[in-house]
């Protein structure tokens, strides 16, 4: 049986966030040194969890009420802000890795 790498939850969320923000999953996997299938599984798991309601555990079928345009804009801005934070954190980690002296 092969050795399986363990990735912390923050790393997984950052990788999924890049895919969800429009980056190609294959490129993100390559850049982060991941098996593409591993990243695809993380993305599927994320999408499944987002589609469930917070309390019932059932999938949403139709919206209960149309949110206001301000509420939609706020939600979109919050989502964009979260993705930008994840991208920033990944870049910080990459800078830290590449600024290490060679062995």
Number of domains in the chain: 1
In a domain, 2, yes or no: no
| 16-71 residue pLDDT tens | 888 888 889 899 899 888 999 999 999 999 888 876 645 544 444 445 556 788 88
Q: Which domain holds residue 75?
A: 9-59+67-98
How would residue 94 be classed by pLDDT, with cut points 50, 70 and 90?
Answer: confident
| Helices (H), ranges, 25-67 | 25-32, 36-50
What pLDDT score does 68 carry?
82
pLDDT at 58: 46
Mean pLDDT across 2-15: 77
Residue 82 has pLDDT above 60, yes or no: yes
48 occurs within a structural domain: yes
CATH number at residue 90: 1.10.10
Residues 6+ apart with CB under 8 A from 1: none
Q: Look at residue 3 and tell me if it is in a domain.
A: no
């Amino acid at each position: 049986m092969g050795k399986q790498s363990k990735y912390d939850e923050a790393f997984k969320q950052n990788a999924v966030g890049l895919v969800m923000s429009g980056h190609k999953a294959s490129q993100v996997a390559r850049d982060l040194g991941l098996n593409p299938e591993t990243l695809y599984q993380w993305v599927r798991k994320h999408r499944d969890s987002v589609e469930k309601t917070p309390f019932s555990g059932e999938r949403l079928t139709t919206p209960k009420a149309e949110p206001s345009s301000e509420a939609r804009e706020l939600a979109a801005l919050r989502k964009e802000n979260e993705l930008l934070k994840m991208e920033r954190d990944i870049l910080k980690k990459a800078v830290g890795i590449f600024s290490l002296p060679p062995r």
